Chain A
């Protein structure tokens, strides 16, 4: 399988703080990869290392087969990057921004750009500084897509957009994805966005990639188990796969990765009055997973495809 984006033990320290820790990421060609994590977990730093804008302290990153720290102009032309906040020169009009960006690319799909601008009802005469945040995101997307890039790297593209604009933006993104062979990496902490478009997700927790698997697999494997008791619930014993446990009234709520026979046996040994296994959506699964005690989070990473089983590697 060809990996368009690959990192090897990618590590970044800012002073004594480790922002990205031994990141091994492999994104196959044609996949849409949702890069998740709470604020300050290293998503933007990783993305900037992939683009050579931040230098890793250790390890390496490769995009389109080239070392990210020394990307050639040709490779840059094949990678579109939407930075967080959509920075474009504010003194420019949309037409100026298009002219400026177009000058750097041999390939330029003007009809597609016009179509996107038209869809978002943006006039080339509009000044960038007069555009709303959402409109700037739309212009950025149009500029990023017009050179027909092989790889799109989007750093939290929907942050700050209202629901309608976000939905529109994602619809456009889905249409872009449908063009064959295009690989997309996008970071976000709006889980419903990721669920709509990503076929694979990675979750960074404190700079460590704790999850790297197909989106559906993640949802299926993180479960909430509710044990009902007549009185005060007992402690649940530590075991592999247990993310967290908390008492809610007379219930004991467990978040478990790969709920199986062993967990069932342990649960039954506490003699609860009821055992309920609850499926979680991506957002719930993400929240429950990432708010657990971080050092003990079970890792699911390193899978190549949906067919392979996810190994619970235990604590990092």
Chain B
């Protein structure tokens, strides 16, 4: 049962994750290219992506320090988390398949938790890839003329850790019945502060991670409660 549900979810959100991965990898390539002045950023179209969309510096950068991956990473991860959350909740409602899905002989909580677990797992997995690839490239001697310490990646990992909170906020916004889009987006507005705090507070093991975890737990409890009590009319 769980496997069938997982395959169904994967088929529905896999393409979104694949697009996000492609964007991440373009960003990694762009950051690496600005770091070594390879000329990659001068490829027609890529310069626009590098400087205008990804907001990367045009001067030689230090990976994870200056002209870094943070900007494009935050933008892509935010978009991925929002699209995943709304696709899994609003998508079912729009296709009118909630009734079909929730009538499967499986607990409603199990079905919802399965959706959440799979999406959070994919979100974390796919957004960890660009960090690890760029870190591996930066840590490889001879790749670029600047030092590299793993501690330089901590800020981006904080953002990475806070992204499931955004996803859960989007899922709850899509699942929760609302009269209009303004009230529908209340959960997303509510998670903006903890998500921002979790990715900015310096002592991340003591503050950021527990804060993100607390927000995530509250959101999961709310999702399960809404999932059990709302009308699927």
Q: Which residues of A contact B (CB under 8 A)?
A: 14, 44-45, 48, 51, 53-55, 73-74, 76-77, 79, 81, 83, 85, 87-91, 99-101, 103-105
Contacts and interface: CB of A to CB of B under 8 A. Distances in A.
A55 B228 CA distance: 10
Contacts of B7: 100
B106 A104 contact: yes
Contacts of B202: none
A18 B21 CA distance: 50
B231 A103 contact: no
A53 B3 contact: no
13 contacts: A44-B233, A45-B233, A48-B231, A48-B232, A53-B98, A53-B102, A53-B103, A54-B232, A55-B229, A83-B96, A87-B96, A89-B12, A100-B4
Contacts, number: 68
B165 to A, nearest CB: 28
B78 to A, nearest CB: 26
A83 B3 contact: no
Contact of B231 (A54, A104, A105): A54
B8 A89 contact: yes
B233 A103 contact: no
A173 to B, nearest CB: 19
Contacts of B104: 76, 101, 104
Contacts of A14: 233
B109 to A, nearest CB: 11
Interface residues of B, number: 24
Contacts of A100: 4, 7-8
Contact of B96 (A45, A85, A105): A85
B146 interface: no
B210 interface: no
B103 A87 contact: no
B105 A105 contact: yes
Interface in B73-120: 95-100, 102-107
Contacts of A90: 95
A186 to B, nearest CB: 16
Given A100-B8, A104-B106, A89 B232 contact: no
B41 to A, nearest CB: 38
Contacts of B11: 91
B199 to A, nearest CB: 34
A87 B96 CA distance: 6
A45 B231 CA distance: 10
A45 B233 CA distance: 7
